[in-house]
Amino acid sequence: MTELLQSTDFQKQLDYIFSIHLDDDIRSIDLQLVNVTELGTASQAGFRTPFSLHFLGPVSQQYLQQHTYQMLNETLGRLDIFIVPLGLDAEAGRMRYEAIFT
């Protein structure tokens, strides 16, 4: 389903939570979508414009590794999204993560 999503679908979810259930679904981590940025123009007719998503998550002893996670959002439902940790956002005091859609 993620191949059909556009940046506008995520812009409607700014500041909303995307939950990731880890391991045996006992633990979960909530990421807050804080930025949606278009990355140029569509390369071919019919394809979406590339975009990036930035999330903020909790700072804990274990941060999320670069990986595809199944995320749950109240409006968009379950999505498999590949995220990359970017490091600590000192201003927010939270971990930053990025997903890029091409």
pLDDT digits (tens, 9 = 90+) for 5-60: 899 999 999 999 999 988 766 778 999 999 999 987 766 656 788 999 999 998 87
Q: How far apart are CA 66 and CA 18, in angstroms?
A: 16
Domain hosting 68: range is 2-101
- Close Cβ partners of 11 (under 8 Å, ≥ 6 residues apart): 36
pLDDT digits (tens, 9 = 90+) for 59-88: 876 789 999 999 999 999 999 999 999 999
Number of domains in the chain: 1
Give kind and range of the element (H or E) at residue 82.
strand 77-89
Q: How far apart are CA 41 and CA 30, in angstroms?
A: 31
Largest CA distance in the chain: 45
